[in-house]
Amino acid sequence: MALKVINLLGYLFFKRGIVWNNFHIDGLRARFESKKSPFRTIPKRTPTASPALRIGVVTRRVDMGFPECYESQFPQPHQLYLFDTVVDDGPHRPAPARPDIHCVRVEQQESYQKFIRELAERINAAQLDILILANWCPVRFNQPKRDLASLVDTPCLIGYLSGSDLIYHPKVDYSLYVQPRKGYSVKNQRLWSHFARGYVRAERCYETVFTWPSYEIKRAENPPFSQRSNIILSMNRLYKVAQTPYLTAITTLLQRDKSLRFVFLGEDNAQHLESISSFFRRSGVASQVQYLGAFSLYLPKEQLTDKIFTLLRAARLAPDPWPIGGGRTRIEAYSAGTPSTHMRLDHTPTTLWNRDSQKGTDLPCLELPEATATTLDEFISICSRLLYDKEAAESIVRKQYRIVDHVTSPSVWWEEVLSSHDQWLHGTGWASDFAPALKD
Report the 10 Å Cβ neighbour count for 135: 20
pLDDT at residue 34, rounded to an integer: 65
Give the strand pairing for 231-234 and 190-193.
unpaired
Burial class of 110 by CB neighbour count within 10 A (0 to 12, 13 to 18, 19+): exposed
Question: In 247-275, which positions are buried (b, 16+ CB within 10 angstroms) versus exposed (e)?
Answer: bebbbbbbeeeeebbbbbbbebeeebbeb
pLDDT at residue 355, rounded to an integer: 53
The set of residues, in sequence order, having a beta carbon less than 8 Å from that of 59 and lying 6+ positions away, is: 65, 66, 82, 83, 84, 85, 134, 135, 136
Residue at 148: amino acid letter:
L
Secondary structure E strands in 359-436: 372-373
Contact 40, 149 (CB under 8 A): no
The 3-class SS string of 290-331 reads EECCCCCCCCCHHHHHHHHHHHHHHCCECCCCCCCCCCHHHH
Contact 181, 4 (CB under 8 A): no
Per-residue pLDDT reduced to its tens digit, 129-179: 999 988 765 444 677 888 888 999 999 999 887 666 677 788 889 888 888
Tell me the whole-structure pTM to 2 decimals: 0.84
Burial class of 430 by CB neighbour count within 10 A (0 to 12, 13 to 18, 19+): middle
Q: How far is CA 33 from CA 22, 39, 147, 280, in A?
A: 17, 12, 10, 44
pLDDT at residue 153, rounded to an integer: 96
Contact 253, 337 (CB under 8 A): no
DSSP 182: T
Containing H/E element for 81? strand 79-86
pLDDT at residue 304, rounded to an integer: 65
**Cα–Cα distance, 107 to 384 (Å, whole number):** 51
Give the strand pairing for 261-264 and 190-193.
unpaired
Report the 10 Å Cβ neighbour count for 131: 28
pLDDT at residue 206, rounded to an integer: 84
- For residue 323, cis peptide bond before it (omega within 30 degrees of 0): yes
pLDDT at residue 167, rounded to an integer: 73
The set of residues, in sequence order, having a beta carbon less than 8 Å from that of 353 and lying 6+ positions away, is: 16, 17, 18
Q: Which residues of the chain have pLDDT under 70?
A: 1-35, 62-65, 87-92, 136-141, 162-165, 201-203, 296-304, 347-359, 430-440
